[in-house]
Amino acid sequence: MTDKIDKRALKQKYAEERDKRLRPDGKDQYIKLEGQLSYYLEDPYLPIVEREPKTDHVTVAFVGGGYAGLVTGARLVERGITDIRIIDKAGDFGGTWYWNRYPGAQCDTASMIYLPLLEETGYVPTEKYAHAPEILEHCQRIAKHYNLYRDTLFHTQVTEVRWDDDNARWHIRTNRGDDFTAQFLCMGTGPLHMPKLPGVPGIEDFEGHSFHTSRWDYDYTGGNPEGAPLEHLADKRVALIGTGATAVQCVPHLAAICDTFYVCQRTPSSVDQRANQPLDPDWFAEVATPGWQQRWMENFAINQTGGAVDVDLVDDGWTDITHRFHRNIAALPEADQSNPAKWAEAWENADMEKMEAIRARVDSVVEDTATAAKLKAWYNQLCKRPCFHDDYLEAFNQPSTTLLDTDGKGVERVTANGVVVAGVEYPVDCIIYGSGFEVGTERLSRTGFEVYGRDGLSLTDYWDAGMRSLHGLTVRNFPNAFFVQPSQAANLISNIPHNIVEAALSIATIVERALDTGSAQVEPALEAEDAWVELINSGAGLTLPNADCTPGYYNNEGQPIPEEAHSYAGYPQGAPAFFKFIHGWREAGSFEGLEFR
Ligand code: NDP
């Protein structure tokens, strides 16, 4: 099929579209939700309940009640470690799935591998891609199953954590007056959780109603996260700013009901088919032999990252490029099949074929040809978060809905009455910001608290020249602390829970060992940390998506990636290799690289 593509012309088009969108302020273009704008962060879902501050001691404190806290808590409880306190800004467990209740929210990675601990909790998801209420309920199910509600601090923002070397414990302070200690401290604060607003002047001048998609105001819109129509919008004019993965999921629900609906687009997403379907419990019972979920996660990781295995258990749009790539390789003369340049070409061809198909899909669904043209994405599929939806494009056929394409420039300004695009004001009653979350900003700006290790050393200072860790999990000078995040580890972005599941197993194994051996402290040896950082740095760094890509949070908004940021790359041999390595590390039982004292 690539024979039919004019590759030179296509690359030229990609470059032109990218250049339109490059801007010198990069990620600084966005507006932080602070000061007068901090009301955008308020919890619309649950009231804050008064309570007494905590001043006691616990064995394990975990900052974050999303998947990271839940799965780590579960693995600790399985080992008999039950004195666990989970702290979260939200009013309940769920993390991302607590906050993101916008209509149509659902997982984009198959439920079977995205919902953790299915085997352990005996739960069978209802759909291949479960909707948000079901995922939130599953989070609560895990918490109940493992008795993690017992000692939680919800609606609580950690303000500082500080290591006390004399007493070998962490001091944890919060905005609710808590000042307690913990022998072990885990942090899983989520990579994308601090909402941001677009860099558009006039946001504060708007006199209508507005909110961010991660704080959906159902009181205003009517409806509910379960999918009831947003009936209060039937006589409203609404503008949605942003066309990322969130917008793609909520647009059909808004298009179906609003009197007038404007979708303000700067860069179109690539929107492949979703093909969601109910999960047949009989089929599930057949596949769910012991250990199935781990096998499925591993199989997906290999398929998604370009590896070759006989079967693709999940088999969806995430792995399609890989299959096209392998087909392209197989079609090469045998002598070329191991030539790296040919591999790169085969990958490029696979991507171009995929994106041509996605663009053709726009034409096949969207009736208005001018609108269809504007909805086409001109970049490599993995330049931006790939999206999958069966009703998004269809929404642009609704008479209520108008695409306000900004030709890469973005909404110009917000006025008291509405939004301005290309010099024209569109009056609206409500603006919904689907403008995403802080990425690549200062760590403190995203987490809201500093981590002080031995001798008052701050994590910000320790990581000033780049991240340092052993396995992305433990850090020298920060004893008994664990960081649940994907960098310097698998860095598997297509299935974040897989990274978490592995980190949780490692934490539980290490904490159990420390407790069993009466060790007061555990941290990586300096040489081990040095060697790990060196190994990470020996890889290609943060290469994908590359500089040719259209700007977005995947590539530092198209600005050069600072040298130290490359230390946030993953294991050089890729995610499946990391998972294999860390499994072996745990199984060996020698805890190589760690010092127990
Ligand atoms: P994104 O950061 O992906 O999208 C923000 C959107 O706002 C982009 O379309 C951006 O345009 C647009 N924007 C920014 N400034 C302007 C402006 N001035 N005028 C017009 N548009 C503007 O945020 P999302 O919340 O959509 O998604 C964030 C991430 O959350 C996803 O990438 C994904 O990882 C995750 N997610 C996962 C889901 C799932 O798994 N089911 C569902 C939803 C989100 P531009 O592209 O030009 O920058």
Query: Which pLDDT tens digit goes with each residue over 373-394?
Result: 999 999 999 899 999 999 999 9
- pLDDT band for position 484 (50/70/90)? very high
Residue 312 in any domain: the answer is: no
Measure 30 CA to ligand 1 centroid, in angstroms. Answer: 12
Mean pLDDT (whole number) for 194-206: 97
CATH number at residue 62: 3.50.50.60
Measure 356 CA to ligand 1 centroid, in angstroms. Answer: 22
Residue 487, SS3? coil
Measure 248 CA to ligand 1 centroid, in angstroms. Answer: 9
Residue 545 has pLDDT above 70, yes or no: no
Measure 244 CA to ligand 1 centroid, in angstroms. Answer: 3
Residue 359 in any domain: the answer is: no
Backbone angles phi, psi at 261, to 5 degrees: -130, 120
Residue 192, SS3? coil
Fill in the DSSP letter of residue 522: E
Residue 285 has pLDDT above 60, yes or no: yes
Both 129 and 249 in a single domain?
no
CA-proximal residue: ligand 1, atom 48 (nearest) = 552
CA-114 nearest atom, ligand 1: 40
CB 100 within 8 A of CB 45: no
Last residue of a domain, one of 433, 450, 479: 433
pTM of the predicted structure, to 2 decimals:
0.96
Residue 87 in any domain: the answer is: yes
Measure 384 CA to ligand 1 centroid, in angstroms. Answer: 9
CA-proximal residue: ligand 1, atom 41 (nearest) = 107
Domains in the chain, number: 2
H-assigned helices in 383-495: 392-395, 443-447, 459-462
Residue 550 has pLDDT above 70, yes or no: yes
Q: CA Rg, the chain, in Å?
A: 24
Both 460 and 591 in a single domain?
yes
Residues in contact with ligand 1 (CB, 6 Å cut-off): 21, 106-108, 192, 198-200, 241-247, 249, 264, 266-267, 385, 406, 410-411, 434-437, 552-553
Both 466 and 490 in a single domain?
yes
Per-residue pLDDT tens for 99-130? Answer: 999 999 999 999 999 999 999 999 999 999 99
Mutation test residue for ligand 1: of 193, 200, 246, the one with most atoms within 8 Å of CB: 246
Both 527 and 584 in a single domain?
yes
Residue 340 in any domain: the answer is: no
Residue with tokens 């200072």: 461
Residue 549 in any domain: the answer is: no
Residue 290 in any domain: the answer is: no
Both 118 and 238 in a single domain?
no
CA-266 nearest atom, ligand 1: 47
CA-proximal residue: ligand 1, atom 20 (nearest) = 410
Measure 437 CA to ligand 1 centroid, in angstroms. Answer: 8
CA-410 nearest atom, ligand 1: 19
Mutation test residue for ligand 1: of 267, 272, 435, the one with most atoms within 8 Å of CB: 435
Residue 135 has pLDDT above 70, yes or no: yes
Per-residue pLDDT tens for 48-106? Answer: 999 999 999 999 999 999 999 999 999 999 999 999 999 999 999 999 999 999 999 99
Both 464 and 426 in a single domain?
no
Residue 368 in any domain: the answer is: no
Both 579 and 502 in a single domain?
yes
pLDDT at 541: 77
Q: How far is the first Cα of the chain from the last one, in angstroms, to the nearest whole number?
A: 61
Both 478 and 591 in a single domain?
yes
- pLDDT band for position 223 (50/70/90)? very high
Both 467 and 491 in a single domain?
yes
Both 108 and 165 in a single domain?
yes
Measure 529 CA to ligand 1 centroid, in angstroms. Answer: 35
Last residue of a domain, one of 400, 433, 466: 433
Last residue of a domain, one of 399, 433, 467: 433
Both 246 and 136 in a single domain?
no
CA-199 nearest atom, ligand 1: 18
Residue 382, SS3? helix
Q: What is the number of other CB atoms lying within 10 angstroms of the CB of residue 277?
A: 9
The boundaries of the domain holding residue 415 are 8-31+197-274+375-433
Residue 50 in any domain: the answer is: no
CA-247 nearest atom, ligand 1: 26
CA-244 nearest atom, ligand 1: 26
pLDDT at 540: 81
Both 88 and 161 in a single domain?
yes
